[in-house]
Homo-oligomer: A and B are copies of this chain.
Amino acid sequence: MTETLNQLHVWYQGDEWCPITSTTTLIGKKWHPVIIHRLLEYGPSGFNELKRAVDGISSKVLSDSLEDLESKQLVSREIVNEKPVRVEYSLTKHGESLRPVIVSMRDWGTEYLAPAETPESSVV
């Protein structure tokens, strides 16, 4: 069996464990998929770098989201000692493993939800 996320497999529907509910509990918050996608495509990024990339998110919500993702072991946070201080966010191995999920979401959106004019569509 593959290794599972530590202590994070506790989501049930009623009595029974459900893989889909488990997944949405982890990445079902508004900005999570977009943040993960950015980290998948561009690699480790700093806070403001992410904030610029994830268009429209506020500092607070980005901070909250990253904290949540870190607590779920999908993202890791490393403080780089430069000046000024840099903090680098990157995907953990488990975070990386989400690639098929995020990609399928992106592809479906691209195929079925694209605006008619199709301008410079940005996938963050």
- Cβ-neighbour of A34 out of B20, B94, B108 (below 8 A): B20
A80 contacts B by Cβ under 8 Å = no
Contact A22 B55 (CB under 8 A): no
A13: chain B residues within 8 A (beta carbon): 34, 54-57, 122, 124
Contact A19 B55 (CB under 8 A): no
Output the least CB separation between A121 and chain B (Å): 5
Q: Is the CB of B30 within 8 A of A113?
A: no
Interface residues of A (CB under 8 A from B): 1-5, 8-24, 26, 28, 30, 33-34, 37, 54-57, 94, 97-98, 100-102, 104-116, 118-124
Listed from nearest, the 8 A-B pairs whose CB atoms lie closest are A19-B109, A14-B55, A14-B56, A23-B109, A13-B55, A22-B113, A16-B122, A9-B113
16 A–B contacts from the bound complex (CB under 8 Å):
A4-B113, A13-B54, A14-B55, A15-B55, A16-B122, A18-B34, A18-B109, A19-B110, A19-B114, A19-B123, A21-B34, A22-B113, A28-B28, A97-B111, A100-B108, A101-B101
